[in-house]
Amino acid sequence: MLRNTAAIAQKNTTLLKILGSTRSISNQPTIGRFTGKTNSSGTYTVPFIEGDGVGPEISKSVKDIFSAANVPIQWQPCDVGPIFVNGLTTIPEPAVKAIKESLVALKGPLATPVGKGHRSLNLTLRKTFDLFANVRPAKSVPNYKSTYENVDLVLIRENTEGEYSGIEHIVTPGVVQSIKLITREASEKVIRYAYEYAIAVGRPRLIVVHKSTIQRLGDGLFVQIANELQSEYPSIKLETQILDNTVLNVVSNPTLYKDAVSVCPNLYGDILSDLNSGLSAGSLGLTPSANIGDKVSIFEAVHGSAPDIAGQNKANPTALLLSSVMMLNHMGLEEHASRIENAVLSTIASGPESRTGDLGGSATTSSFTECVIKKL
Ligand code: ATP
């Protein structure tokens, strides 16, 4: 076993040196591996949830670039507008059916109305398809200078429970209780995936970020499971870090995490990954993510619907584009993935006139898209 995992890690490290990227990996963990098939004309059908706010604008960019790059994907419009069954938020059956058939989907940002009493649609999707791991790579972009250089962070966030379980009640007026749920089943799934991911990308350290000093039982169980699984992944060195130490370390010197994959409960992952995005690029507009389940996986930008710039042709489509690149790698379409990734990165590297406003540039969503198409 030891020799086997070490050999895979070595092979993957070599591959990554060639590809020069851990933003999108072409070697995939065995858990959650894509098993979808093309139709008789050789194309995959992929549901596309365009989302709210800037969603339609950045989705158009992805569709235009995929079409110019002749990617063998036929998009299927997918409406996940919430419906309510027995007081619970659910997504329409045709959307569930389409995603279950395709085993993969691309998703723009969905806004959650504040104070309307229904569960976040993002969470509903994650629960519906049991998307237990949320992979969030944050990597500096070549030739684009932000506050920190050479940032290359990978964070895997538990995606279905923890502080996002949606279990809250009023104990007595003025006193509410929110329950953070940690189960062995969900923790084991995400931690096992994180071990496998570390092997796949050739990173020898797995760091469990936690706060078990305070949340002794909940985070304690999370850490305990990581320790229990360690013997199955002897090529990976397991470390545990208290959340506040991680925050301090990562802003002091992000390169300390260059050879590591971090894994953590849901809320810590949400916050830490935005921090990582800020360190790598100073904008949320660059960070992709993958929601991995045993069968279905859904790829989406980390950012929200950006209502402040919606409909103004200002949004940076890079995060959704790089999420689509992660999706292509997941589907085994590596050549298309690297072609699009290279075109996107070289567009950003070309200078301020081809960058969108969030990166200090003057490009619009559509002029950025045209530039990427020219570089394909
Ligand atoms: P939501 O409630 O949907 O999460 P939000 O406004 O709270 O929306 P984000 O949508 O993530 O959170 O936006 C945070 C900030 O980042 C905003 O100033 C927004 O304009 C900016 N931003 C987010 N996505 C992009 C993007 N793709 N391009 C440019 N700026 C973006």
Over pLDDT 90: what percentage of the chain?
76
Ligand 1 pocket residue status of 247, Cβ below 6 Å: no
What's the pTM?
Answer: 0.90
Instruction: Quote the pLDDT of residue 196.
Output: 96
- 121, 273, 275, 284, best to mutate for ligand 1 pocket (most atoms within 8 Å of CB): 284
How far away, in angstroms, is 306 Cα from ligand 1 center? 3
Mean pLDDT confidence for 31-41? 92
Mean pLDDT confidence for 52-73? 97
Ligand 1 pocket residue status of 285, Cβ below 6 Å: yes
Q: From the options 3.40.718.10, 3.10.290.10, 3.40.30.120, 3.30.390.30, give the CATH code of 5-375.
A: 3.40.718.10
3 or 226, greater pLDDT: 226
Instruction: Quote the pLDDT of residue 111.
Output: 86
Residue nearest to atom 8 of ligand 1 (CA): 304
**What string of H, E and C letters represents the secondary structure of the chain?**
CHHHHHHHHHHHHHHHHHHCCCCCCCCCCCCCCCCCCCCCCCCEEEEEECCCCCHHHHHHHHHHHHHHCCCCEEEEECCCCCEEECCEEECCHHHHHHHHHHCEEEECCCCCCCCCCCCCHHHHHHHHCCCCEEEEEEECCCCCCCCCCCCEEEEEEECCCEEEEEEEEEEECCEEEEEEECCHHHHHHHHHHHHHHHHHHCCCEEEEEECCCCCCCHHHHHHHHHHHHHHHCCCCEEEEEEHHHHHHHHHHCHHHHCCEEEEECHHHHHHHHHHHHHHHHCCHHHCEEEEECCCCEEEEECCCCCHHHCCCCCCCCHHHHHHHHHHHHHCCCHHHHHHHHHHHHHHHHCCHHHCEHHHCCCECHHHHHHHHHHHC
pLDDT (tens digit per residue) in 88-136: 778 899 999 999 999 999 999 998 765 555 567 888 899 899 999 999 9
Over pLDDT 70: what percentage of the chain?
91
How far away, in angstroms, is 138 Cα from ligand 1 center? 16
Q: Atom of ligand 1 at shortest distance to CA of 52?
A: 3
β-pairing, 237-242 vs 205-210, is: parallel
Instruction: Quote the pLDDT of residue 20.
Output: 36
What is the band of 81 on the pLDDT scale with cuts at 50, 70, 90? Answer: confident
Residue nearest to atom 14 of ligand 1 (CA): 306
What is the distance of C-alpha 240 from the center of its chain?
22
Whether residue 270 is predicted with pLDDT greater than 70 in this model: the reply is yes
Q: Atom of ligand 1 at shortest distance to CA of 315?
A: 28
Ligand 1 pocket residue status of 308, Cβ below 6 Å: yes
Whether residue 268 is predicted with pLDDT greater than 90 in this model: the reply is yes
What is the band of 29 on the pLDDT scale with cuts at 50, 70, 90? Answer: confident
Instruction: Quote the pLDDT of residue 291.
Output: 97
Whether residue 7 is predicted with pLDDT greater than 50 in this model: the reply is no
Q: Atom of ligand 1 at shortest distance to CA of 302?
A: 11
Whether residue 212 is predicted with pLDDT greater than 80 in this model: the reply is yes
Ligand 1 pocket residue status of 196, Cβ below 6 Å: no
Ligand 1 pocket residue status of 9, Cβ below 6 Å: no
Count of CB atoms situated within 10 Å of the CB of 99 = 26
Ligand 1 pocket residue status of 355, Cβ below 6 Å: no
pLDDT (tens digit per residue) in 136-164: 999 999 889 888 989 999 999 999 999 98
Mean pLDDT of the chain: 90
Domain ranges of the chain: 5-375
Mean pLDDT confidence for 4-8? 44
Instruction: Quote the pLDDT of residue 249.
Output: 97
Instruction: Quote the pLDDT of residue 285.
Output: 84
Count of CB atoms situated within 10 Å of the CB of 7 = 11
Ligand 1 pocket residue status of 108, Cβ below 6 Å: no
